[in-house]
Amino acid sequence: MSLAAEAFVSQIAAAEPWPENATLYQPLKEDQILLSDSASSLAVQTFLRMCGLPVEVSCRANAEYMSPSGKVPFIHVGNQVVSELGPIVQFTKAKGHALSDGLDDVQRAEMKAYMELVNNMLLTAELYIQWCDDSTSAEISRPRYSSPYSWPLNHVLAYQKQWEVRRKMNAIGWSGKSLEQVYEDVSQCCQALSQRLGTQPFFFNKQPTELDALVFGHLFTILTTQLTNDELAEKVKSYTNLLSFCHRIEQTYFKEPEREGQSSRHSKGALP
Amino acid sequence: MLSMAQRMHSTLIGRITVFGLSLANQRQEVARGHLVAESVERVRSSCRKGGGEPERRRDAETKERDAYAKFAGAPLKVHKITNPWRSPTGSLPALKTVEEGSISQPSKIIIHLRKQKYNADYDLSAKEGADTLAFVSLLEEKLLPALVYTLWIDSKNYVDITRCWYAEHIPFPLNFLLPNRIHGQQLEKLRLLRGDVALEPGEQLEKELYHDAYECMTLLSQRLGSQKFFFGDTPSSLDAYVFGHLAPLLKIKLPNGKLHQHLSSLKNLEKFCSNILLLYFPSDARETPNRKVHVQSDSSDFDSEPHLRRNQILSVLFAVGTMLGYAVLTGIIKVKRKSLPLKNSSHGEEDDDDED
C-alpha cells in the first residue's frame, strides 16, 4: 500500500470497531493452496486469534487476483481490504488491538528484525523449494496451483507463476543456490529462532506478539505439509523448543475440533 | 571531496568484507595462506606483502595509503582495479584464495574467512549470533533497496554523481556501458522485488523506500542505544554490516540527501560510524579535515592532472593541425619555398640542354 493510502486506511479504521463479519480470503485449502501461501495465511489467522478478533476463513480460487497487492491472504473488514501480515498488523493497531505495545524500543527493534529474518529466509526458502526445485514444481506446485482451471489456462498460469518466481529468485541471488544450501539456510534460520526463543514460552516476555504468530504459521505449515521428501520438516524437527512452541500455540489458540488450516489432503493433519 | 567520497563509495560489500578481516585479525593469530581482495578503485601499485605472519597488526601494515591498506599486511593482498572483468570471478568484490579458487558473494567470503579461523564473532553468545542474522536480514530488506535507489535510480544522484565517478574511473570502452547497465539491472531488480513490472522511479516509490529505510535506521539506533558497538565493547560482523551500509550514506555528498539527513539526526549511529572510521580506517578519517596536506589528495591531484593537461594539449594541437591543414589545402595559406629560384635556373639549364 502506498503511504497516503495507508494513512487514509488507518484513519478510517480507527473510526469503527472490529465487525463480526470480518473475512479472510485464501486459495482453496484442499486442492490449490501451496506451502508458502498456507504459511502466510496461518500466520494471519494466528495473529487475529491472539488479538481475540473473530474472522471467518473463506476459500476462493481467485484469492490471489482479488488481493490488492497480489499476495494472499487478505482480510475484508467493514469496507476495507488489507493484505499481508505487516499491513494487517498496522490495521488492527489502528483499531486499537495491538500485541506489541508492551515491548520497549530495543525489543521492538529485535522483533521487527526477526520478522524480517523469517520473511527473508523461511518464506524465500519455501518459495524456492516450491517453484525452483524441478521435482516439487512438477509434482506438487504446478498441478495444485492450476487445479481450478481448465486446459489450456492451467498450463499457462502455472508456468507464468513459475517463471515469475524464478525471476525473483534470480534477482535476489538465490537461483545459484542448490537445494542443499537452501535446506542449510532454513536450518540456520531455525537455529537463530531456537536460540532466541530459548526456554521462554514466547519470544518476548510471557505475551505473544506478531512474531510468534508469524513463526508459528511458517513452522506449523512446514511440519504438517507433505512435500516430495521430508527433509525440510526434519530440519525444523531437530529443534525441540520450536516443536514445543508450535504445540503450545496450537493448543492455546486452535483448541476447537474443527481446526482451520490443518485438515487438508496436502497437510498431514496434526503435528508429529 | 570527490576523491574522498569515491573511496568511501567502493562497493560497500567490499568494505564489509575487508572490515570483517580487520576485526578478525585482532582476535585470531593464525598464519594462513594468501588471500587477495579486490575492489573498485583507481589502479595503484599494490604493495606486495608476504603470506600471513601472526604478529602483523593493522598499524604496522602496508605502505598503501587507502582504506584497505592495513588489511594487506594480514595474509591479504589488496588489488585495486577499475575493470571488473579483470577480477577472477568477473565481478567485484572478489576474493581469490589459494585453496578454493575465487569467491564472489560477500556472505561466502565471510564464511571462507571464518573457516580460515578469522572469526570476528568468536565471542558472541548464541542469542547474539541469532540477533546478528536477524538484523542483517532487516538491513537487506529495508535499507539496501533505499541505498541502491538513492545511488543508482534517483535521477539527480545518478546523473550527477554515480555515473560520473564510474565513467571517470573505468577504462574505455566499459565506461560507456557499465554504469548504464548497472542502472538498468538495479531498476529491474527493484521491480521484481516489489512485484510491480511497470515501476518507475518517482516520488511515490522514493517515499515508500525511504520510509522503510528511516524505520530501519531508527530501529538500529534503538538497538544500539548508547553502546559503543552492537554487542558490547568489541566489534562483530553485525557492526561491519551496519557500517558498510551506513558509511556511504554518511560520507557521500549527494544532491538528494534525505537519507543522509535522517542518519545525521540519529546521533548514536553517526558516532558509531565515525568511531569505526577513526579506529579502522584512519587514513580516510584524517582526510576529511585536511585534504590538501594529506599525501592521498596530492596523489589524486597528481593522477588526474597529467591526464587533464595531456588531454588539453592534445585537443588543442589537433584543432590547430586540422585548421592549418584545411587552410593549406584550400589555398588560403600559400607556402613559399625559398629554393624556387635555384630550381628554376637548374631547370632552365636542363631545358637548354634538352633543346640542344
Q: What is the CATH number of the domain that holds A47?
A: 3.40.30.10
> Which cell is B203 given?
516520488
Question: Residue A86 domain-assigned?
Answer: yes
Give the per-residue pLDDT at B112.
Answer: 64
User: Are A73 and A112 within one domain?
Assistant: no
Is the pLDDT at A219 greater than 90? The verdict is yes
Amino acid at B83: N
Exposure class string for A158-171: b at 16+ Cβ within 10 A, else e: beebbeebbebbeb
Q: Of A241, A125, A243, whose CA–CA distance to A183 is shortest? A: A125
User: Are A45 and A130 within one domain?
Assistant: no
User: Are A113 and A90 within one domain?
Assistant: no
User: Are A20 and A154 within one domain?
Assistant: no
Higher pLDDT among residues A33 and B307, named by residue? A33
The region that residue B337 occupies, defined by phi over 0 for left and psi between -120 and 50 for alpha, beta otherwise, is beta
Strands (E), chain A: 23-26, 56-59, 74-77, 80-83
Closest CB to A113: pick one of B126, B135, B204: B135
The region that residue A198 occupies, defined by phi over 0 for left and psi between -120 and 50 for alpha, beta otherwise, is left
DSSP secondary structure, A230-266, as one string: SHHHHHHHT-HHHHHHHHHHHHHH--SSS-TTT-SSS
At residue B294 the predicted structure's pLDDT band, cuts being 50, 70 and 90, is: very low
CB B95 within 8 A of CB B36: yes
Contact call for B140 and A120, based on CB within 8 A: yes
Question: Residue A272 domain-assigned?
Answer: no
Q: Of A68, A95, A122, which closes a domain?
A: A95
User: Are A70 and A113 within one domain?
Assistant: no
How far is residue B216's CA from residue B194's CA, in Å, rounded to a whole number?
A: 18
At residue B99 the predicted structure's pLDDT band, cuts being 50, 70 and 90, is: low
The percent of residues in chain A predicted with pLDDT above 90, rounded, is: 38
Q: Of A53, A71, A95, which closes a domain?
A: A95
Is the pLDDT at A169 greater than 70? The verdict is yes
Distance (Å) from the alpha carbon of B188 to chain A's nearest alpha carbon? 8
Contact call for A110 and B129, based on CB within 8 A: no
User: Are A136 and A248 within one domain?
Assistant: yes
pLDDT tens-digit map of B54-76 = 222 333 333 333 333 333 233 55
Q: Of B33, B112, B114, whose CA–CA distance to B74 is shortest? A: B33
Question: Residue A271 domain-assigned?
Answer: no
Give the per-residue pLDDT at B177.
Answer: 80
Q: Which positions in chain A have a beta carbon within 8 angstroms of at least one beta carbon in chain B?
A: 2-3, 69-71, 105-106, 108-110, 112-114, 116-117, 119-121, 167-168, 171-173, 188-189, 191-193, 195-196, 198
Q: Give the domains, in start order, of chain B with CATH numbers.
A: 30-119 (3.40.30.10), 124-286+310-325 (1.20.1050.10)
Question: Residue A227 domain-assigned?
Answer: yes
Distance (Å) from the alpha carbon of A189 to chain B's nearest alpha carbon? 8
Contacts B137 to A, Cβ<8 Å: 113, 116-117, 119-121
Q: Radius of gyration (Cα) for chain B, nearest Å?
A: 28
Domain of A238, in residue numbers: 105-254
pLDDT tens-digit map of B316-349 = 999 999 999 988 888 887 777 665 555 544 444 4
Q: Radius of gyration (Cα) for chain A, nearest Å?
A: 18
At residue A107 the predicted structure's pLDDT band, cuts being 50, 70 and 90, is: confident
How far is residue B200's CA from residue B187's CA, in Å, rounded to a whole number?
A: 8
Contact call for B222 and A195, based on CB within 8 A: no
CATH of the domain at A234: 1.20.1050.10
Contact call for B141 and A116, based on CB within 8 A: yes
Contact call for B204 and A110, based on CB within 8 A: no
At residue A127 the predicted structure's pLDDT band, cuts being 50, 70 and 90, is: very high
Q: How many CA atoms lie within 13 A of B295 on its CB side?
A: 5
CB A28 within 8 A of CB A138: no
Contacts B140 to A, Cβ<8 Å: 120
Contacts B222 to A, Cβ<8 Å: 105-106, 108-109
What would you measure as the largest C-alpha separation in chain A, in angstroms?
54
Instruction: Give the three-state DSSP class for A57.
Output: strand
Contact call for B195 and A70, based on CB within 8 A: yes
Contacts A184 to B, Cβ<8 Å: none
User: Are A87 and A109 within one domain?
Assistant: no
CB B64 within 8 A of CB B39: no
User: Are A121 and A245 within one domain?
Assistant: yes
Closest CB to A192: pick one of B134, B193, B222: B134
The tally of domains found in chain A comes to 2
Question: Residue A261 domain-assigned?
Answer: no
Q: Of A31, A66, A95, which closes a domain?
A: A95
User: Are A115 and A238 within one domain?
Assistant: yes
At residue B261 the predicted structure's pLDDT band, cuts being 50, 70 and 90, is: confident
How many residues in chain B?
Answer: 356
> Which cell is B224 given?
544500539
pLDDT tens-digit map of A68-104 = 888 889 999 888 899 889 889 988 988 888 888 888 8
Mutate to test the interface with B, among A196, A197, A203, A242 (most CBs of B within 10 A): A196
HEC-encoded secondary structure of chain B: CHHHHHHHCCCHHHHHHHHHHHHHHHHCCCCCCCEEEEEECCCCCCCCCCCCCCCCCHHHCCCCCCCCHHHHHCCEEEEEECCHHHCCCCCCCEEEECCCEEECCHHHHHHHHHHCCCCCCCCCCHHHHHHHHHHHHHHHHHHHHHHHHHHHHCHHHHHHHHHHHHHHHCCCCHHHHHHHHHHHHHHHHHHHHHCCCCCCCCHHHHHHHHHHHHHHHHHHHHHHCCCCECCECCCCHHHHHHHHHHHHHHHCCCCCCHHHHHHHHCHHHHHHHHHHHHHHCHHHHHHCCCCCCCHHHHHHHHHHHHHHHHHHHHHHHHHHHHHHHHHHHHCCCCCCCCCHHHHHHHHHHHHHHHHC
User: Are A178 and A218 within one domain?
Assistant: yes
Residue with cell 520438516: A233
At residue A244 the predicted structure's pLDDT band, cuts being 50, 70 and 90, is: very high
At residue A204 the predicted structure's pLDDT band, cuts being 50, 70 and 90, is: confident
Higher pLDDT among residues A231 and B49, named by residue? A231
The pLDDT mean for chain A works out to 86
Closest CB to A3: pick one of B137, B142, B207: B207
Closest CB to A110: pick one of B131, B195, B225: B131
Question: Residue A164 domain-assigned?
Answer: yes
Question: Residue A264 domain-assigned?
Answer: no
Question: Residue A44 domain-assigned?
Answer: yes
Closest CB to A106: pick one of B130, B204, B223: B223
The reply to whether B207 touches chain A by the CB within 8 Å rule is yes
- Provide mean pLDDT across the span B21-48: 33
Contact call for B138 and A117, based on CB within 8 A: yes
User: Are A233 and A109 within one domain?
Assistant: yes
ipTM here:
0.82
> Which cell is B99 given?
585453496
Contacts B146 to A, Cβ<8 Å: none
User: Are A78 and A126 within one domain?
Assistant: no
